[in-house]
Amino acid sequence: MTPCPAGRAALSVIGTTAALGAATLAYSLIEARRPVLRRIDVPVLATDEEPLTVLHLADLHLTGRTEARVAWVRQLAQLQPDVVVNTGDNLSLASGLEPLRRAVEPLTGLPGAFVMGDHDYRSTVFRLPTRYLHRDPRKASSRVRDEDIEALPWEEIRDLQAATGWVDLTNRRGSLTVRGRRIELVGVDDPHANRDVLPVPEAAGSAESAISLPAVRDREGRALRLGLTHAPYRRVLEAMSADDVDLVLAGHTHGGQLCVPGVGALVTNCDLDRGRASGLSQWPGRLGDPRAADHMYLHVSAGLGTSPYTPVRLACRPEATLLRLLPA
């Protein structure tokens, strides 16, 4: 039987839609395997300070089958950044521990700091992709019980990063020395898992505050202070802004992972607005106004990995970022 004209039109629409869907899926699988290095300038230093470079890594989500990602991270050592920052979610499965060791090995000896993400403590499990379209996926229904999720070797993840010489900022304060100058640091454990506790400032006269090295100065003449958090929840950003942090570095969002060209991210997987799913902004800031007077900058990395069960990205390539801190 020959279909009627209306039937032929319907079949044509179905066929075209299916072809577009297949092409989009194929492209998103390819895009997830094409990392890019982004370069961003941040005018955050005093007028007479020398520029500094910060390499920001986030959301590696390594497994035993992510060797191409490991090789790409290793070659970033050629950039010779002044500081390396890792904002967590290093593994998806426990098999990613040895790949993580190989990934960071060339960066050993460079000044750096790190915080932990949820996927440094718990492995990734399969969940329906539609769950991540919820504003807060933690509240979406799931057949997976938290107690059934395999724990990751978080102490080994922490220790291998500390062995590179990087400062552990898991609910801690610290400092780095770069070219004989001090940079102040503060960080929190993963806010997405409600592990975050902003550490109180060091008391005057304490051993930490007695460091005599001169400080790299921010644009207001104070010691430059960097803040690290895995997930950029508003409560953390507000607390760090009140703590006079100059630049917060975060990951977690995957930049939205599946974005709509011309629209951008549909979700951030936290309470941050979609306009800041990745890239540089000021906090609280006015989106689209780079001259906003707010004193704190926020950089959210789209990260390098994905869940092994949803290895796709659309209009949101995996990334690492080389931030150049410049005089204001």
Alpha-carbon separation of residue 130 from 28, 140, 142, 155, 309 (angstroms): 16, 9, 11, 32, 13
2 located within any domain = no
Alpha-carbon separation of residue 148 from 13, 126, 144 (angstroms): 43, 12, 7
Give the model confidence (pLDDT) of 290-306 as tens digits. 445 678 999 999 999 99
Q: Which domain holds residue 285?
A: 7-327
For residue 81, give the CATH number of its domain.
3.60.21
143 located within any domain = yes
1 located within any domain = no
116 located within any domain = yes
Give the model confidence (pLDDT) of 85-132 as tens digits. 999 999 999 999 999 999 999 999 999 999 999 999 999 998 665 555
Domain count, the chain: 1
Global pTM exceeds 0.85: yes
123 located within any domain = yes
In this prediction, residues 53-80 reach a mean pLDDT of 98
35 located within any domain = yes
